[in-house]
Structure 1
Amino acid sequence: MTELLQPAALTLAILADAALGEPVWLYRRVAHPIILIGQVIAWADRRFNRESATPAARRRAGLFVCLAGVAIAFLLGWGLQALLLSFPGGPLWLGLLMSTLIAQQSLYTHVADVAKAMELSGVEGGRIAVARIVGRDPEVLDEAGISRAAIESLAENFSDGIVAPIFWGLVLGLPGMLAYKAINTMDSMIGHKTPRHLDFGRAAAKLDDAVNLPASRLAALLLILAALVLKGARAAAAFRAVKLDATRHKSPNAGWPEAAMAGALGFAIAGPRRYHGVLVSDPWMNDGGRWQLKAPDIRAALALYWRACALLALAVLACAVS
């Protein structure tokens, strides 16, 4: 095992996050690493994204900010990893820090809250809960729309929030995880096709697509395998949905885990939806599946999700003991 390849620490990180989730008591006192990254990106956006600049100049500024942010995050991760591994029990401390960059428990909680809200308070409660995790207009969502939004968020964030940081942690250790989170955070903050960020955020959006490519395919594979161990799920249908529909998604990556989850459970997700009053006509993932979804269907998706997380943990553990 090299210094930058720490599957043992990463195994501890996965287990710690699954068991404990985010330590709220700690983040009341110390800012979460992603919050700190976001603050730096917001400062860079204000400082370098000048509306008076030409589109070409804004693209160059955005590329500079993107590369500088990734370099700083990588070097910070390298320094922290070297420091922690110099202490007694170094992999334990490294694993605990790595766990802050994985979102298994928090993703489960946020999506489960949508199902719980609908079970207790109906559509109105579901709209309030789902608005916390998706950007679409909640006031126009019915029970099926809320359920599909929650399941789509679960599938996409399984790739972005769990598989991707763990993948880059296996490849490059803590430096890879921090660099990935910097890229992902930049994309979420400035990688939008709005007048302000169309040019400045282009590099961040393109780089985010690139670094999420391996994780999205791996996430789809894990969901297909998880369907083998979930009663009522169908791995063959999940594989077929990925083969037919994954590349039809507007995102080069999101369609893979969404199609896999939809196919495994017999659902149809994505499709036409509304953002800020604008109807977006996207293809269905697992076209022909059942789209009139309800709270119990969110619960089924969460059951598949946890099995996929367990398979990922076993794969990382196998790397640690090999």
Structure 2
Amino acid sequence: MHVFIAPLALMVERYTGYPPHLMNAIGHPVIWFGKLIDFLETRVDRRERTTQQRRDAGIISMTILLGGVVLVALLVQQLTRQIPQGWLLEMLLATPFFAQKELGRAVRTVAEALDISLDAGRAEVSQIVGRDADQLDEAEVSRAAIETLAESTSDGIVAPWFWLVLFGLPGIVAYKAINTADSMIGHLNDRYRDFGWAAAKLDDVVNWIPARLSTMLITAACFIVPHASPGKAWATAGRDASGHASPNSGWPEAAFAGALGFSLGGPRSYDGNTVELPRMGSGKHELRGSDILRALQLYRATLNILLGLSLAIALLMLSATG
């Protein structure tokens, strides 16, 4: 029954999310990873060191992080597989590493807030993006929410699933540790450019296949979403994804843009500094809260396609073993 861990984890997390009482009692695994990353940074990173020394410190930190979390995950997996129905416990332990329910809730909240006021929309979108939100207009708030939804469909859902299917609990734990490290230290600023180099490069590697798989899933989802274009989703991703600063993020963003007839990307501000990013898609650029709801419809359909794929893989694996 271990073959059904991935599809069941997807189903359980999609409808239950991470229980608030657990969050209050013990926090979230990602928070634990973050504390370990903070601890390692304060112990091994020194500003007075050379570029190579700081890069080496980052490599050592990532080795310790991954070695530690994978070892724990392997031990837990071995224990669960020695007890009756332990696969159910393993499945439950995998669910916190998905973000289906919380991602959908957070993005929908932005659309609902825009119905109240622009300031409310800005306040909500600031919870899910790193860009400066206090001066965004409605179109910029809407684009920010949709871009986050698209990118996180890949690195918050498809990528964890991919590594869970391949390597079980250690795979999904290792992926989430890398992704957490990248979000914390994988930045091109003076503080993290060298120390976070290993985290950023590893994140690029582990998201390469999932980003392109996400594009395929989004394209397939267009067939069951009214007024979504699978042809434009695929074509736009192939045309515009390579223009993104990230080797991976552009794929799901461009697919969403093409599917829904949007134009995403463009300039945005981080800590008062304007950054020019390429456009994804050539459709409507002046988006509104109702367009966020359209994107959420495509998001839910993509989750359904992923679940169907996961079940199909599980059944094939089951038939192959017996």
TM tier, smaller: over 0.9
Q: Quote the Cα distance in structure 2 between the aligned partners of 1:303 and 1:185.
A: 27
Report what 1:43 is aligned to: 39
What are the superposed Cα offsets for residues 100-148 of structure 1, whole Å, 9 maximum, x if unpaired? 11000000001001001111x2211100000000011111210000000
User: What does residue 173 of structure 1 align with?
Assistant: 168
* Aligned counterpart, 2:225: 230
Q: Secondary structure at the match of 1:22?
A: coil
Task: Tell me, yes or no, if the aligned pair for 1:190 and 1:197 is still in contact at 8 Å.
Answer: yes
Q: Which amino acid aligns with 1:110?
A: A
Q: Counterpart of 2:320?
A: none
User: What amino acid is the match of 2:285?
Assistant: W
CA distance in 2, matches of 1:141, 1:27: 31
Q: Kindly state the Cα deviation for residue 14 of structure 1 after the two structures are TM-superposed.
A: 0.5
Fraction of identical pairs, as percent: 43
Deviations 1:219-241 (A, max 9, x none): 11111110111001111111110
Deviates more, 1:22-31 or 1:41-50: 22-31
The residue matched to 1:253 in structure 2 has which SS? coil
Matched, 1:316 2:321: no
Render the CA deviation track for 1:43-97: whole Å, top value 9, x for unaligned.
0011111112111111111011112211222121111111112222112111111
Matches of residues 179-218 of structure 1 in structure 2 within 5 Å? 179-218=174-213
Residue in structure 1 matched with residue 236 of structure 2 by the alignment:
241
User: Which residue number in structure 2 is paired with residue 144 of structure 1?
Assistant: 139
1:72 and 2:95 correspond: no
**3-state secondary structure, aligned to 1:167:** helix
Unpaired segments of 5 or more residues in structure 1? Answer: none
Q: Could you tell me how far apart the structure 2 residues matched to 1:7 and 1:231 are?
A: 33
1:245-298 residue CA offsets vs partner (Å, 9 max, x unmatched): 011111100000000001000000011111111111111001x21010001100
CA RMSD of aligned residues (A): 1.0
In the alignment, is the contact (CA less than 8 A) between 1:274 and 1:280 conserved in 2? yes
2:299 matches 1:305: yes
Retained in 2: the 8 A contact 1:11–1:95?
no
Name the SS of the counterpart of 2:71 in structure 1: helix
Structure 1 CA distance for aligned equivalents of residues 231 and 313 of structure 2: 27
Please list, as runs of the form range in 1=range in 2, the aligned pairs for 1:150-161 lying within 5 A after superposition.
150-161=145-156
Opposite residue 57 of structure 1, the aligned amino acid is Q
Give 4+ residue runs of structure 1 displaced > 2 Å after superposition: none
Provide the C-alpha distance between the structure 2 equivalents of 1:84 and 1:208, rounded to a whole number of angstroms.
28
Q: Which residue number in structure 2 is paired with residue 96 of structure 1?
A: 92
CA deviation after TM superposition for structure 1 residue 31, in Å: 2.2
Q: What is the CA–CA distance in structure 1 between the aligned matches of 2:200 and 2:189, rounded to whole Å?
A: 12
Unaligned runs of 5+ in 2: 317-322
Q: Cα offset for 1:7? A: 3.4
Counterpart AA for 2:103: L
Q: Which amino acid aligns with 1:86?
A: Q
Instruction: Kindly indicate whether residue 257 of structure 2 is the aligned counterpart of residue 290 of structure 1.
Output: no
Map of 2:270 onto structure 1: 275
Give the aligned residue type for 1:318. A
- Structure 1: how far apart are the matches of 2:45 and 2:197? 12
Letter in 2 for 1:157: S
Which secondary structure state, in structure 2, belongs to the residue aligned with residue 192 of structure 1? coil
1:201 CA displacement: 0.6
Q: Contact 1:7/1:316 (CA < 8 Å) preserved in 2?
A: no
